[in-house]
Structure 1
Amino acid sequence: MSVSMINAQSGENRSNDNADLQIRRLSPALGAEISGVDLGAFVDDATFSAIHDALMEHQVIFFRDQDMSVERHLELAKRFGTPTYSKKLPKYDGNDYVSLIQSNGSTINVGGRWHTDNTDFKAPPMGAVLLCEETPSLGGDTLFANMYAAYDSLSEGLRRHLDTLVAQHDNSLVALRFAGTEFVGDGDKGMSVGPAVEHPVVRVHPVTGRRALYVNSSYTRRILGVPPTESEHLLNMLMAHVMTPDFQVRFEWQPGSVAIWDNRCTQHYAPNDYTEPRRMRRVQIDGDVPVGVS
């Protein structure tokens, strides 16, 4: 099924009433669906404050049946921070700050393993706003996982140990996975392997102050300051741990669905389980340098 979202109404004659906003939790772990909001219209301060608070509480929020132009998409992302171009994805209609995620299901898909976006950056993205334009008739969902819960469920002794550790992240595994595919971005260096960066294994969220496990299978290469074998075994255990179903919510996309996630305290995974077109429009939002436990 598909719907054209490209030439949506400007939203100039549409408005939001914060009194209509409703929030429904989708799982015990994380995720909520917000209704009563028209993202294709101007989002006033009170409505945005409610959306932002919901994101901080639920970590990923979803909207249905949205008719949102590229301009409104960018405006909404700017309320959270500065939009930034993702070199790993093609540009959407040549727009410098909007990316295209598209697959017909016959080749490797972007996001097809558990990850936090771009932790190979010194300052990884704060999050992203993703709009669905076309979905397969079956499959193509996205799963999100709660990294607060992943951390909290570990033993106290292991948490104390992880609080002291730093890990190295780079793009080598992603570059290898997508070599020769269409997911190479618009720049010559879209999938090149840049210098490694270091992040705390446990990140303190800059808004909530909560601790989140901050290693992922796409970008984390090794834990520093421990023997290689210890690093390997510890990372393998943590990578398996974050996939625990108790930490997850699964979202079934429809044309016009929108997801906004907090990249600082979640991971996500898009199964490659479909054989029909799937098309998404994405705006990534700049983040800050992760801070560990002091």
Structure 2
Amino acid sequence: MTTQELVAQIHKKQSFLCIGLDVDLAKIPKHLLEEEDPIFEFNKAIIDSTNHLAVAYKPNTAFYEAYGIKGWKSLEKTIKYLNTNYPEVFTIADAKRGDIGNTSTMYAKAFFEDLAFDSVTIAPYMGKDSVEPFLAFDHKHTILLALTSNQGAFDFQTKDTEGKELYKQVLEISKSYKNSKNLMYVVGATKTEYFSEIRKIVPDSFLLVPGVGAQGGNLQDVCKYGLNDQVGLLINSSRGIIYASNDKEYAKAATDKALELQQQMKEILEERK
């Protein structure tokens, strides 16, 4: 999917909502455990009921890998279902990969060719040769971890080295990578005080923003400092939407929560006009 196609969907749906499909069998409605593939059935219902409100879905691969082969098959079925039935939706493999070049190439093939995701999250710590193999794929996006929403982000990401915080160096250096036009960045919603500085470095890039909802991030503050001319934000909510209810009406409850966020986004976009 091209950036222009993503932007078109944002304006069509008046939404820049991304829903995280982080499925924990201990949290889904109990009646689904009787299904042959409870993870897929849960995802399918969430997707079918919220696709008109969301422009992206983001399965975190850890929640599938934890269940071994069965979990991976559930992930395969989920992405195939999305690509077949809702090809206009942007898909994100939240895998946080990043390794030496030949290994990164194989990771990229796994997520971009075999599973056919539109994008994948990447850790930048190993540098250029661990990132560029992902950037080599046309119409695919590499989402680099820049400034994350967890407390441990302060261990390294905001440390000042030679007069500049590490996350700023990551942003600046990554712009020099081959095919850097395919880069997006993860910036946590709990770090809104940093958004203005981030936009000075990457004014035109899309930012994937986790942390709104269950982690306490504020949508209005994120948009105040993070929006750009193309909107440039994908606001992710996982637990706050998919676990809105654990009874048989879970899909409707998820839709209601997604609608709340989408309506806020619609108001923000209308105000910008």
Fold shared, TM-score > 0.5 on shorter chain = no
Larger radius of gyration: 1
Q: TM-score, normalised by structure 1?
A: 0.26
| Structure with higher RCO (Cα < 8 A, 6+ apart) | 1
Q: Which has the larger share of helix?
A: 2
Normalised to the residue count of structure 2, the TM-score between the two structures is 0.27
